[in-house]
Amino acid sequence: MLKKNLDQLKLLIVIGILILVGQKVGFMVVDKEFSVAAALPGTILIIVVCLLSLMIKECLPNLKFPAFAWATMIGLILSMPFMPTAKAFLAYTNEVNFLSTTTPILAFAGISVGNKVQELKSMSWKIVLISLLVFTSTFFGSAIIAQIVLKLQGII
């Protein structure tokens, strides 16, 4: 294994720990049972898939397909109904709560934009207003078309 991959693995393990701690606390708050031991195999499986997606991305630099998308793709393939891996993979990874994986990401994300606050202050209020309209119209533009097509297809 390359040194880079080893470094990535170390960091992914830290992220795994952050997820498990977050899930423990989050479940405690709502009085739900959570055993770290039961979630450990799922966490390890997830970390292995993450590392794999980083390696695939590295091997195919011209494809411009982000590691995040590879991770989703591998997770998807392993859990399709007709795959022999589906039952076990889902049983283990379901022990890891979806929302618990999101909290560390956003904590890092918040910190990572910290040095852009000054730049942002120098930007005018106009760009804020425009951006908010950009976000809203991107969201509803897609939602309206999806609504029409799903209706035509009879799915909703």
Partner 1 sequence: MSKKELTENEIISMKGRLNVFIKLFITVLFIVIFSELIGVKKYSLGPGSVVLLPMLYAVIIGLIITPDILGKPLNFLRNLISNEEIELAGTMVMLALLPLGVKYGTLVGPNIVKVVQAGPAFLLQELGNLLTPVLALPLALLLGLRREAVGGTVSICREPTLGVIGERYGMNSPEGTGVLGTYMIGTVFGTIFFGLLGSFAVTSGLHPYALAMACGMGSGSMMTAASSSLSAAVSPEMKDTILAYAATSNMLTGVTGMYSVVFIALPFTNWYYTKLAPKFSKKGDK
> Does 34 sit near partner 1 (CB under 8 A)?
no
Short-list 22, 84, 4, 78, CA closest to 46: 78
Question: CA 1 → CA 5, 66, 68, 88, 117, distances in Å?
Answer: 6, 21, 21, 27, 39
> Does 36 sit near partner 1 (CB under 8 A)?
no
76 in Cβ contact with 90 (< 8 Å): no
Pick one of 10, 35, 38, 88: the residue that binds partner 1 (CB under 8 A). Answer: 10
> Does 39 sit near partner 1 (CB under 8 A)?
no
Min separation Cβ 87 and partner 1, Å: 10
- 126: Cα within 13 Å, side-chain hemisphere: 1
Q: Which of residues 118-137 bind partner 1 (CB under 8 A)?
A: 118-120, 123, 126-137
CA distance 39 to 26: 14
Q: Look-up: residue for tokens 């039952």? A: 87
- How many residues of this chain bind partner 1 (CB under 8 A)? 102
60 in Cβ contact with 76 (< 8 Å): no
> Does 1 sit near partner 1 (CB under 8 A)?
no
* Residue closer to partner 1 (CB basis): 35 or 138: 138
Q: Which of residues 134-153 bind partner 1 (CB under 8 A)?
A: 134-147, 149-151, 153
- Per-residue interface string for the shown chain with partner 1, residues 83-122, x marking contact by CB under 8 A: x--x--xx--xx-x-xxxxxxxxxxxxxxxxxxxxxxx--
> Does 35 sit near partner 1 (CB under 8 A)?
no
